[in-house]
Amino acid sequence: MRKGRKMIVSEHYIPPGYSYSNRTEKAALIAKYFDFALQGPLLDVGCGSKYLQQCLPEGFDYTGLDVVPEADIHLDLDRVDIAFKDESFSTVVCTDVLEHLENFHSVFNRLIDLSSRYVLLSLPNCWNHALHLVISGRSSGDKYGLPLENPQDRHRWYFGCSEAKYFLTKTLNGKGRKLDFYHYFGLSGRGLAQKTARLLFPRSRYENLFVHTLWAVLEK
C-alpha cells in the first residue's frame, strides 16, 4: 500500500445460505465465500485438524499452525512468536482464535506483518452469544463462566460487533488499501424479530444484538 493512501472500508452481510455449525462446515464456507482471498502460500493460524486444507485444491501451498498435534507447526501463541519473516505468506487466515489469547494485540499485529496480500479474520460477537444464554437461562459455560476445572478453550476478551469493527478499522488503518467487513448471523437466519429490530434500532445496536460473527478481509 502506498503511504498516505486512504484505506477503503466496506461492509457486507453474508447471505443466509452460507451457514455452519462446526469447523468442517466453517472451512467449507471460507473456501467458497472467501475464495478470492485464498492465495498460496497460505498460513492458517488456529488450523485445528487442518479443516481448511481439506477444502483447498490438491497441492495448494498451505501451512497450518495450532497447539494441536495435527498442525504443521505446533505452537502456543501466548508463549512463542511465529518464526517467519514478514510477508512470508500471501494470505494469513485466523478465524475465532484471537479472543482466546492473552497476547491478542501482539499476535494480531504479527499476523498482519506476515501477510503480503490478504488477511482473513473472524471475531465472535460476544454480546450476541451472551444474549442467547440469558434468554435461554443457561450458564455461560467454559467461555466466561465458572466451571469446576480450568478450561483449555476459554475467551479472554469480551466485546460486541461494533467494538470489533472499531478496533480493526483503527488498528489496520495505513496497513492496507481495502478492509471489508462481513456480518454473519449464524443459523438463526433473519426472523421477524430481527427484521423489525433492523428497522427500529440504530445500526450499531442492531448488529451488536444479532450478528453472530464478524468476518474481515484486509487487502494490502
The residue type at 1: M
Q: Has residue 220 got a pLDDT over 90?
A: yes
| Strands 213-219 and 178-184, sheet pairing | antiparallel
Query: Do 69 and 116 contact (CB within 8 A), yes or no?
Result: no
d(CA 12, CA 156) in angstroms, rounded, equals 27
Q: What is the pLDDT at residue 146?
A: 82
What percent of the chain has a predicted confidence (pLDDT) above 90? 73
Q: What is the pLDDT at residue 189?
A: 57
Q: For residue 78, name the pLDDT band (cuts at 50, 70, 90).
A: very high
d(CA 185, CA 46) in angstroms, rounded, equals 22
Question: Which pTM does this prediction carry?
Answer: 0.92
Q: What is the pLDDT at residue 4?
A: 56
pLDDT per residue over 31-51, tens digit each?
999 999 999 999 999 999 999
Query: Do 97 and 66 contact (CB within 8 A), yes or no?
Result: no
Q: Has residue 144 got a pLDDT over 60?
A: yes
Cα–Cα–Cα angle for 160, 8, 190, rounded to 5 degrees: 40
What percent of the chain has a predicted confidence (pLDDT) above 70? 95
Q: For residue 14, name the pLDDT band (cuts at 50, 70, 90).
A: very high
pLDDT per residue over 162-205, tens digit each?
999 999 999 999 999 999 999 999 876 567 777 787 788 888 89
DSSP code, position 19: -
